[in-house]
Amino acid sequence: MTSTADVVVIGGGAIGSSVAFALARRGASVTLLDASTPGRATSASAGGLWSLGESLGLGCGVILHTAQKGVGDGPAPLPRTFMDFLWASNLRFPSLAAELRTLCGIDIEAESATGLLYLVYDDEQERHASRIVEWAGSDHGQVERWTPQHVHNREPLITHDLRSAIHFPGDNQVNPMLLTEALKRGACAKGARFIAEARVRAFRCSNGRVVAVESDKGTIACGAVVNAAGAWGAQIARLASIEIPIQPVRGQIICTEALRPGTLRSNLSTRDCYILQKAHGEVIIGSTTEYCDFNTEVRYEDMCSLAAGAIRAVPALRNVTLKRAWAGLRPGTPDELPILGPAAELENFFHATGGFRTGIVAAPLTGEVVAASVLGQTPEFPIEPFLAHRFQFLTA
Amino acid sequence: MSHPAIVIIGGGPAGMSAAVAAATQGLACTIVDEGFDLGGQIYRKPTNPARAPAPHPRGENLRAEIARLAQHISVRTGDSAWGIFDGLRIAVTSPDEHTELLQPQAVILAPGAHELVPPFPGWTLPGVMTPGAAQILIKTMGVAPGKRVLVAGTGPFLLAVACQLVDAGVHVVAVLEASSRPAWLSLPLHGFRTPEILAEGLAYLSKLDRAHVPVRYGRIVVTAQGETELNAVEHAPVDAEWFPDNNRIEIEQVDTLLVGYGFVPRVQLAQMAGCNLELRPDVGGWIPVRDRNLATSVGGIFAAGDGAGVAGSLVAAFEGQLAGMTAARFLGAIDEATFTAARYPVEQELARLKPLRRALDKISALQPGLMSLVRDDTLVCRCEEVTWREAREAVCAGSTTYRSLKMTSRAGMGACQGRFCWPFLSRLVAAEAKCSLADIGPPSARPPLGPITLGALASEPRDK
Ligand SMILES: Cc1cc2nc3c(=O)[nH]c(=O)nc-3n(C[C@H](O)[C@H](O)[C@H](O)COP(=O)(O)OP(=O)(O)OC[C@H]3O[C@@H](n4cnc5c(N)ncnc54)[C@H](O)[C@@H]3O)c2cc1C
Ligand SMILES: Cc1cc2nc3c(=O)[nH]c(=O)nc-3n(C[C@H](O)[C@H](O)[C@H](O)COP(=O)(O)OP(=O)(O)OC[C@H]3O[C@@H](n4cnc5c(N)ncnc54)[C@H](O)[C@@H]3O)c2cc1C
């Protein structure tokens, strides 16, 4: 079977679906290919939209940084452009939610007033928190220090053994699976074609261009290719003889039975874990950040320590029943920034991967800038900081 | 505590026999069973012996063997195995919320099966239950499940339960067997090597006859009715594919309906351990792939009994014995020659039991008509209260795998992880999406298998 499309997008996670939607919306003919691979990040994800918390290193990134750098000074924030990028992407959720609801009838459960609370337990974290708040400034809503009293007024279940908290007002949450499903269906409503179980096996190239994509569900002649294969992005690139430094970074998560919605109003982050209640009432507690190749097992010890971390923050969780544990593979990069835009090696090959810990919050804007870049338009956010090019010295 | 050489999950006929076989070779075994006593579904002891039927001699024999080998066998009843991690580490939680990681050198999975109940209008009404649940009420507590009871579904298990109800003084209105009478009449042709089982079946039939309980073949329940609880059941005759003839519906006034269409192997631990599975609808659905000696595809993990393919308590016991011996060989406790010699009689017994079992599987094989009972507003996932309309819309929009259907409709998202709904939901999806059950796949299995609290999980492990 051979068919044609202007653009073939590889990978049907949040990122690929968003790119396909943005392309279809711009009138391009798009084919989105996906394969079910254990460990797909989007369906494993917590769905936190923590544009500030994560770019300041206070989401689950805490775990990676503390592991790497020792507990000492704590995490260094990521570059400010990245924070701006995530912030701009996050701002798109309310209108995107409305658009997707109209287009395909799916409510992506984007919450608007939850906010993220980072809990500060000791002196060292207290010092660190002060630096973070100072660095964050006030361009992106008012990042505030909250007293324990203030925390308890809003979240009575949080531990009293607390120094303070940092409140990030715009950092809410979404349902990542529904977001992705809606983007996919929205793309199809705008004329895109979605092919499930179409694992990409090879590219046909000619004169420095990809001319066709070979998959388990047939060969598709194309004008351009977008690599949105998440943690498998390096493998897809390699099929086109392109090297990019994507590494799978495992995240394990545990999830409780449904509690009364509103039991926890805010998203919580601590040194040990993050905790958020989803729309249907389940509480999600994540997550580890570890390099272990493509292994997607859940470890007993990590489940135990996530549980202990959650009980420390919200003691009442002790009596709550655990429903499920799982793991996913984040597409990690050495500098923790995504890899977006044209590949230097092939004229019509584009990357949309490296979403790492923030691929969900980044999905709306990632879709926009990659689609614009594929179609030769000017992206609404500069794509330069995210070009694969920046790693040349690594892969040369 | 030192770690046992072998952990056996499940203390039914399969698990008990496995423990006896391995302990006889001097290996230290631990049996984990979440029930309050050994015995499994069939040989578990009553809590109220005065009012319950007499214990089964085969079960008592196994119990005696276990007691004789007490030096080598430690029994952890009440404890639940909820996860198996990288290889052979098994997480076990006790009723007092203590969690422990057992790290044996071999694992025998013998977790049995659970009952299969199809969704149909009214199936979630109070008063509708499984034959197994009714049996537990009678057997362990000496309590009658209701006053006027209708038993429906397929398989000899229905007859066994109906007899137990009769013995308990319950009025059984009728037994409805979905398969046709001619199909059942052909059974003796396949059972001449297992006359004792045929005799058991005939004994059930004559007891029901004496008690004036009609056994009506080729009929299924199409709806259960009642406002807040069951008060009537509609049933109809079916064709060879179990499609009901709705012009010939009969109504029965009852307060209790027992529905069971066979059993589904509990494969979740095997799945978590990474054992390859295969689809075998004839023995209950997805089962672990096993070699001749009952070794799974993962080194050191063996599987026996109904949990590895539904085949009844006799097969379960022989399989348990074989798995126990294979584990002993794996651990070097017996040599190849001894193993081969000991295997021979067990294989002979398994071969003897096979023809009747095959014939039973064929007679009771689920037919597509059973799936036609579901209406738009019928719940297809009880945990998340998802109706067939909601699930079907998700299927039509392209969600034809367990994962994507779960995400878009929440069917299978609940605590049971699709264990109860998926055997039927996957068939409905296959019919709707015109794809095969194998394409759709089993529900994924994630720890924890049963409910455990965060507190139990965070408890300091006794053993590091
Ligand atoms: C435990 C965990 C929690 C997280 N929490 C958050 C959070 O709270 N907020 C946030 O913003 N981010 C979070 N993330 C990160 C976020 O989930 C990821 O960055 C994002 O999902 C990446 O999306 P993706 O589409 O690039 O990758 P994926 O969702 O992994 O999609 C890639 C797709 O490509 C497919 N594919 C692979 N190879 C091929 C091939 N050869 N052919 C065809 N298809 C192929 C895969 O099967 C997959 O479907 C979390 C991640 C994890 C693991
Ligand atoms: C409800 C029911 C009623 C039955 N009644 C009859 C009958 O009346 N007559 C008849 O001939 N056959 C009956 N059968 C069939 C017969 O019981 C089985 O064929 C036989 O018991 C299979 O033996 P087994 O050892 O494989 O599994 P089982 O006897 O089912 O034993 C499995 C054991 O494993 C335990 N277990 C499972 N998972 C875990 C876990 N994760 N952690 C700890 N423990 C676990 C269970 O508690 C159970 O005790 C019945 C089956 C069922 C399901």
The A residues from 225 to 244 touching B (CB cutoff 8 Å) are none
The residue from B274, B304, B334 where one domain ends is B334
User: Is any Cβ of chain B less than 8 angstroms from the Cβ of A323?
Assistant: yes
User: Strands (DSSP E) along chain A, which ranges?
Assistant: 2-10, 30-33, 48-49, 116-120, 144-146, 164-168, 172-173, 193-195, 200-206, 209-215, 218-227, 247-258, 267-269, 274-277, 282-286, 321-332, 339-342, 349-353
DSSP structural state of residue A261: T
Is residue B137 within 8 A of residue B144, CB to CB? The reply is yes
What are residue A218's DSSP bridge partners? A215
| Structure confidence by residue, pLDDT tens digits, A333-376 | 999 999 999 999 999 999 999 999 999 999 999 999 999 999 99
Residue A259 touches partner B, C-beta closer than 8 Å: no
pLDDT confidence bin for B49, thresholds 50/70/90 = low
Q: Kindly state whether B193 is in contact with chain A, defined as any CB-CB distance less than 8 angstroms.
A: no
pLDDT of A58 strictly over 80: no
Find the B140 Cα to ligand 2 centroid distance in Å.
14
CB < 8 Å to B99, chain A: 304
Residue type, B193: R
Of A348, A34, A391, A24, nearest to A207 by C-alpha is A348
Gap from B128 CA to chain A (nearest CA, Å): 25
Domain that holds residue B198: 117-261
Question: Are B166 and B220 within one domain?
Answer: yes
- Chain B residue numbers with beta carbons less than 8 Å from the beta carbon of A308 are 458
- Let me know: does A39 contact B406? Beta carbons within 8 Å: no
Mutation target to probe the A interface, by most A beta carbons within 10 A, among B413, B454, B459 is: B454
C-beta atoms of A323 and B415 within 8 A = yes
CATH number of the domain where residue B428 is located: 1.10.10.1100
Provide the pLDDT for residue B463.
Answer: 43
* pLDDT of res. B399: 78
Q: Ligand 2: which residue has its CA nearest to atom 48?
A: B40
* β pairing state of A172-173 and A48-49: antiparallel
Q: Does A248 sit in the ligand 1 pocket, CB within 6 Å?
A: no
Residue A63 in this model has a pLDDT that exceeds 50: no
Counted residue by residue, chain B has a size of 464
Break chain B down into helix, strand, coil percent, rounded to 5: 40, 20, 40
Chain centre distance of CA B25? 30
Shortest Cα distance, chain A CAs vs residue B446, angstroms: 6
pLDDT tens-place string over residues B215-235:
999 999 999 999 999 999 999
Q: Is the domain of B169 the same as that of B284?
A: no
Residues 6+ apart with CB under 8 A from B299: none
Which atom from ligand 1 is nearest to the alpha carbon of A253?
1
Ligand nearest to the CA of residue B44, numbered in listed order: 2
Cβ neighbors of B319 (< 8 A, separation 6 or more) are B14, B17, B294, B304, B305, B308, B311, B350
Per-residue pLDDT of A195-229, as tens digits, reads 988 999 999 999 999 999 999 999 999 999 999 99
Residues B218 and B150 sit within 8 Å (Cβ to Cβ): no
* Beta partners for residue A321, in sequence order: B453
Q: What angle do helix axes B131-141 and B156-167 make, rounded to 10 degrees?
A: 40
CB atoms B457 and A322 under 8 Å: yes
Question: In what order do the strands lie in the sheet containing A267-269?
Answer: A144-146, A164-168, A116-120, A267-269, A274-277, A282-286, A247-258, A321-332, B452-453
The minimum CA-CA distance between B415 and chain A, rounded to whole Å, is: 6
Residues B280 and B250 in one domain: no
Residue A286: strand pairing partners: A253, A274
**Within a 10 A sphere around the Cβ of A206, how many other Cβ atoms?**
8
Closest atom of ligand 2 relative to the B81 alpha carbon: 42
Rounded to the nearest angstrom, the minimum Cα separation between A210 and chain B is 29
Amino acid at A31: T
* pLDDT score for A71: 41
Ligand that comes closest to the CA of residue B136: 2
Give the residue from A55, A117, A56, A116 showing the smallest Cα distance to A89. Answer: A55
In a domain, B229, yes or no: yes
Instruction: Report yes or no: A367 and A96 within 8 Å, Cβ to Cβ.
Output: no
Q: Read off the pLDDT band of A139 (50, 70, 90).
A: confident
Closest ligand to residue B265's CA:
2
R_g over Cα of chain A = 21
Calculate mean pLDDT across residues B314-321.
97
Q: Average pLDDT of B296-319?
A: 97
Cα B91 to ligand 2 centre (Å): 21
Tokens of A343: 């590949």
- A43 part of contact set with chain B, CB < 8 Å: yes
Residue A60: the pLDDT is: 62
A194 pLDDT more than 60: yes
Q: DSSP letter for B360, please.
A: H
For position B50, what pLDDT does the model report?
66
Mean pLDDT of chain A: 91
Query: B398 to chain A: which residues are within 8 Å by CB?
Result: 185, 194, 196
What is the pLDDT averaged over residues B410-437?
A: 88
Residue A112 has pLDDT above 50, yes or no: yes
Q: pLDDT (tens digit, 9 = 90+) per residue, B174-211?
A: 999 999 999 999 998 998 899 999 999 999 999 999 99
* Protein residue with least CA distance to atom 8, ligand 1: A48
Residue B142 banded pLDDT, cuts 50, 70, 90: confident
- Chain B residue numbers touching A317 (CB-CB < 8 A): 454
Does residue A355's CB lie within 6 angstroms of at least one atom of ligand 1? yes
Exposed e or buried b per residue across A57-90, where buried means at least 16 C-beta atoms within 10 angstroms of its C-beta: bbbbbbbbbbeeeeeeebbebbeeebbbbbbbbb
Ligand 1: which of A82, A330, A365, A370 to mutate, judged by most atoms within 8 Å of the beta carbon?
Answer: A330
CA of B76 to the centre of ligand 2 (A): 16
Inside any domain, residue B452 = no
Question: What confidence tier does A55 reach under pLDDT thresholds 50, 70, 90?
Answer: confident
Q: What pLDDT, on the 0 to 100 scale, is given for residue A39? A: 93
> Are B253 and B270 within one domain?
no
Residue B130 confidence (pLDDT) above 90: yes
Minimum distance, in Å, between the CA of residue A197 and any CA atom of chain B: 10
Q: Do B179 and B236 fall into the same domain?
A: yes
Residue A323: list chain B partners with CB under 8 A. Answer: 414-415, 448, 451
pLDDT tens profile A153-182? 999 999 999 999 999 988 999 999 999 999
Q: Per residue in B151-179, pLDDT tens?
A: 999 999 999 999 999 999 999 999 999 99
pLDDT of residue B67 exceeding 90, the answer is: yes
| B1 assigned to some structural domain | no
On whether both B46 and B132 belong to a single domain, the answer is no
Q: Rounded to an integer, what distance in angstroms lies between the CA atom of residue B412 and that of residue B394?
A: 13
**pLDDT at residue B1, rounded to an integer:** 46
| CATH assignment at residue B64 | 3.50.50.60
Given a cut of 90, whether residue A68 has pLDDT beyond it is no
Which 3 state secondary structure label does DSSP give A287? Answer: coil
Same domain for B71 and B133? no
Residues of chain A positioned with their CB less than 8 A from the CB of B446? 298, 324-326
Q: How far is the CA of B100 from the centre of ligand 2 (A)?
A: 24
Higher pLDDT, A348 or A60: A348
Burial string for B395-432 (b: 16+ CB within 10 Å, else e) reads bebbbbbbbbbbbbbbbbbbbbbbbbbbbbbbbbbbee
- Name the token pair of A39: 């460990």
Q: Which two tokens stand for residue A105?
A: 């009838």
pLDDT at position B140: 78
Burial degree of A237 (CB within 10 A; 0-12, 13-18, 19+): buried
Mark whether B252 and B180 lie in a shared domain: yes
List the single residue in B with minimal CA-CA distance to A38.
B444
Domain tally, chain B = 3
Give the DSSP letter string of A357-392: GGHHHHHHHHHHHHHHHHTTPPPSS--GGG-GGGGH
- Comparing alpha-carbon positions, the chain B residue that sits nearest to A283 is B454
Q: Please report whether residue B456 resides in a domain.
A: no
Q: Within a domain: residue B455?
A: no
Detail the DSSP E strand segments found in B301-348: 301-303
Residue B7 identity: V
Site to probe by mutation for ligand 2, drawn from B9, B30, B42 as the one with most ligand atoms within 8 Å of Cβ, is B42
The pLDDT value recorded for residue A46 is: 93
Residue B460 lies in a domain: no
Among residues B334, B352, B385, which one ends one of the domains?
Answer: B334
- Mutate which of A303, A317, A319, A326 to test chain B, going by most B C-beta atoms within 10 A? A303
Q: Which atom of ligand 2 is nearest to the CA of B136?
A: 1
DSSP B128-192: EE-HHHHHHHHHHH---S-SEEEEEESSHHHHHHHHHHHHTT-EEEEEEESS-HHHHHTHHHH-T
Cβ contacts (< 8 Å) between B451 and chain A: which residues? 257, 321-323
Q: Are residues B253 and B314 in the same domain?
A: no
Rounded to the nearest angstrom, the distance between the alpha carbon of B275 and the centre of ligand 2 is 21
Q: Which of B85, B403, B448 sits opposite A36 (nearest CB)?
A: B403
**Mean pLDDT score of chain B, rounded to an integer?**
93
Domains of chain A: 2-42+177-245+336-395 (3.50.50.60), 57-78+111-172+247-332 (3.30.9.10)
* CB-closest option in A181, A300, A319 to B408: A181
- Of all protein residues, whose CA lies closest to atom 12 belonging to ligand 1? A358
Q: Is the CB of A46 under 6 A from ligand 1?
A: yes
Q: Which residues line ligand 2 (CB under 6 A)?
A: B 9-15, 32-35, 40-42, 80-81, 110-115, 132, 135, 157, 160, 263, 266, 305-307, 312-313, 316, 449
Most confident stretch, A7-11, A137-141, A291-295? A7-11
What percent of chain B is modeled with pLDDT above 70? Answer: 97
d(CA A54, CA B429): 40
pLDDT value of position A394: 64
Distance B451 CA to ligand 1 centre (A): 28
The residue-averaged pLDDT of A255-283 equals 94
CB-CB neighbors (< 8 A) of B89 in chain A: 300
User: Is B286 among the domain residues?
Assistant: yes
pLDDT tens readout for residues A280-297: 999 999 999 999 999 999
Residue B47 phi/psi, 5-degree rounding, is: -85, -20
Q: Scanning the structure block, which residue is given the tokens 């984040």?
A: A330
Decide which of B57 and A72 is more confident: B57
3-state SS, one letter per residue, for A192-212: CEEECCCCEEEEEEECCEEEE
- What's the CA gap between A218 and A202, in Å, rounded? 11
Q: Could you give the percent of chain B with pLDDT greater than 90?
A: 77
Residue B455 forms contact with A (CB below 8 Å):
yes
| Judgement on whether residues B35 and B95 belong to the same structural domain of the protein | yes
> Confidence class of residue A62 from pLDDT cuts 50, 70 and 90?
low
HSE-CB for B401 with a 13 A CA cutoff: 11
Interface TM-score (ipTM) > 0.95: no
- Among B218, B239, B261, the domain-final residue is B261
- Judged against a pLDDT cut of 90, whether residue B410 lies above it is answered with no
Say yes or no: B238 and B326 in one domain.
Answer: no
Same domain, B213 and B239: yes
Which ligand is the nearest neighbour of the Cα of A236?
1
In a domain, B391, yes or no: yes
Of the residues A109, A290, A357, which should be mutated to test ligand 1's pocket, given the most ligand atoms within 8 Å of the CB? A357
Q: In angstroms, what is the span from residue B161 Cα to ligand 1's centroid?
A: 50
